[in-house]
A and B are shown apart, each in its own frame.
Chain A
Amino acid sequence: MGKPIPSVDTYQNVLVKHNYYRDSLELLRLSDEIKRYPGIMEASLAMGTKTNKEILIKLGFPTDHIAKAESSDMIIALRAKDEGLLLSTIPKIEAILRGTGTGGEQTQDMDHSSTNDRHDLESVLSSDKEINIALISVPGEHVKGLAFKLIDEGIHQQIFSDHVTMDDELEIKRYAMKNRVLILGPGAGTSIINGTGIGFSNAVTTGPVAIVAAAGTGLQEVSTLLDHCGIGVRHGLGVGGNDPKEKIGGLMMSEAFKMLEECEDIDVINIVSKPPAASVKQNIIDHATKHGKKKYVMTFIGSNASMENTKVKKVSSARRLTGQSHKIIIANTLTSSVFATAKHIANINKSESSINPIYVKIEDLKRIIMTERKRLRNEQKYLRALYTGGTFAYETQVILNGLAIRPLYSNAPLTKAQLLQEATKSFKNSVIDLGEEEFTKGRAHPMIDPTIRKLRINEEASYDDVAVIVLDFVLGYGSNPDPVGSVIDEIRNAKLMASKAKRHLSVVAHVCGTRRDPQGYDRSLTRLKDAGVVVLPTNAFAAIAAAGIVAKRPLDFREAYLRFIGEIHQGELT
């Protein structure tokens, strides 16, 4: 570590510890703890990945030490009010790090988890034969060996880890099928089993719906919106985004269907996925039509057009959800999926469907959009969507493309032509998935760590041509303890900055969560509204609102609702 560098009224320093690994989540928690020390203005502990180095430089730390760090090195960057405080904090950090120890050092629970009760894998496997599921969140290159060992023990698995190759995934899943083990993931952040949330999940009511999802935040959105409609979810199985691709062939989707078909208390199975490979899609539909005993809602986000090439019997399109009674419904957004499921349940119960808590009347949405549009200056033309949930980023692009919001770019685009040149630099209308690999290597997921989004809100708000920033807030187990509170100052500052430049910056958001989630659903909504944010009940409504704000021509709301909401209340059809 070099001499502390004085800046304007502050001192800062950067220490690089070579070949020193700590989990990104532990480093995030330690960073937050150090930031609370009196006189410490910024503290960031991170592995030396490209993304982390860029963030530290954006936070104003000197580049020379940071640039030399490798991804296996840990960087400690500190900024304090005075030199003495800076120097005295470093040994404290070192002591905490030694306490968490590797290589024979003493173990101390640094990350404030409630567990001081850690075990080694072998002793757990040999002593506890009742374990029926493992939740795995280790770096991707270590997953295969671990998964095979657990399959040999007959233990089902939810693999949260990213960066597992498709070859490894296929090997793991084939071996699991031979041994009658269910593999959820890799890349599966969310599951619900018998009403218990595993990974990123919400406190939802248990009920007659099961969800099979290849889209994690998609599962969260559908289960929470159903909860708002008074409909419970008993099981939600996240099979990972690669499962419905040609190479994996939907292996675990098929396993999940078989298991769920045997559950007597399930009436509706809802499948949530980006459009699967054609062969996988046909297999899913064949399964449901030939062997399925349940009602099915197939939510292939944005895929209505391509259904023409799939052999489907008795399938209603999302355009004609009302009054149908067939076994399968196809929906193309998460919102239309929920409305379709609510209809199924209402038909089964011979009751009225209860979607009012999450429905926005056309006239209300029009009014919101007009209020925002009137306040914009002519040069404010573009939207910037900064998503922590990958499924939301995808769904929003489907809607924006469908409503002709162009040009549109993304770091996780629907088509190659819409690929953003640099994920860290928005261009015209941009939808950013902050959970993509370029942002998460060596860092906690943005649903936990708000740092990248905070910096990005500030940056987007500084551009004269930006009209609207779109945000998602995902509540629930595993997420940041206060997703709204962690960025509310940045939202207020962004609006203030725009106001000083004689602009109105529109911010549109939706909160994915339930009233029983630990972060407080209503409190989250209130704080956003108090900060001047337009809050909509679902991501699809938020995307349509944002589209309406930047659209060059007024939206055809009837068409937009028919295509992406799947529901228009009576009296709104004219």
Chain B
Amino acid sequence: MTNTQKKLLDSDLRVINIGMTIFYDALKVQNIKVVQVDWKPGPVLDKLSEEILSKIM
């Protein structure tokens, strides 16, 4: 965990795009440094399983 706030409004953007590549393209067109994450859906836990897991982990 970090307690340091990364600079945003007064610094150059460096973006990680997770999801639709149309947004990656839009940033590239504006000459922004961006990396695309190859995201695929993982399993989604139901509420009960999530609670059980959070107790045992």
Contacts and interface: CB of A to CB of B under 8 A. Distances in A.
Given A134-B18, A138-B41, A114 B26 contact: no
Of A107, A135, A156, A263, most buried by chain B (CB within 10 Å of CB) is A135
A119 B21 contact: no
Contact of B35 (A25, A124, A193): A124
A152 B2 CA distance: 6
Interface in B1-29: 1-29
A196 B32 contact: yes
A131 B19 contact: no
Interface in A170-208: 179-182, 193-194, 196-199, 201
Interface in A106-125: 107, 111, 113-115, 117-121, 124-125
A137 B8 CA distance: 20
Given A131-B16, A135-B15, A141 B44 contact: yes
A376 B22 CA distance: 42
Given A478-B22, A478-B23, A518-B29, A263 B10 contact: yes
Main secondary structure of the interface of B (DSSP, over half): loop
A113 B21 contact: yes
Contacts of A531: none
Main secondary structure of the interface of A (DSSP, over half): loop
A160 B19 contact: yes
A185 B5 CA distance: 19
Contacts of B44: 141-142
Interface residues of A, number: 56
Contacts of A235: 9
A421 interface: no
Given A21-B41, A137-B18, A160-B19, A260 B2 contact: no
A201 B24 CA distance: 13
Given A121-B37, A179-B1, A180-B5, A136 B13 contact: no
Nearest to A136: B18
B2 A128 contact: no
Contacts of A139: 41
Nearest to A151: B1
Nearest to B40: A102
A193 B13 contact: yes
Given A107-B38, A199-B23, A135 B9 contact: no
A153 interface: yes
B18 A196 contact: no
Contacts of A201: 26
A507 interface: no
B42 A197 contact: no
B18 A138 contact: yes
Interface in A83-121: 102, 107, 111, 113-115, 117-121
B9 A263 contact: yes
Contacts of B39: 121, 138
B30 interface: yes
Given A131-B16, A478-B22, A196 B27 contact: yes
B9 A193 contact: yes
A120 B11 CA distance: 25
Contacts of A130: 14
B21 A25 contact: yes
A371 interface: no
A118 B37 contact: yes
Contacts of A199: 23, 26
A119 B8 contact: no
A220 interface: no
B7 to A, nearest CB: 6
A400 B16 CA distance: 42
B36 A260 contact: no
A369 B10 CA distance: 47
A55 B36 CA distance: 31
A161 interface: yes
A259 interface: yes
Given A121-B37, A121-B39, A113 B22 contact: yes
A444 to B, nearest CB: 8
A5 interface: no
A477 B30 contact: yes
Contacts of B2: 152-154, 179
Given A124-B37, A153-B2, A132 B18 contact: no
B27 A132 contact: no
B1 A137 contact: no
A23 interface: yes
Contacts of B9: 193-194, 235, 259-260, 263
Given A142-B41, A181-B5, A477-B27, 14 more contacts: A23-B20, A111-B21, A113-B25, A131-B14, A131-B35, A135-B19, A135-B23, A138-B19, A155-B6, A179-B2, A180-B5, A196-B13, A198-B23, A198-B27
- The 6 lowest CB-CB distance pairs between A and B, nearest first, are A137-B19, A477-B26, A113-B21, A118-B38, A154-B2, A180-B5
22 contacts: A102-B40, A107-B38, A113-B21, A115-B21, A117-B36, A119-B36, A121-B37, A132-B6, A132-B7, A133-B16, A134-B17, A137-B20, A142-B44, A146-B18, A154-B6, A198-B27, A199-B26, A263-B9, A263-B10, A477-B26, A478-B22, A478-B26
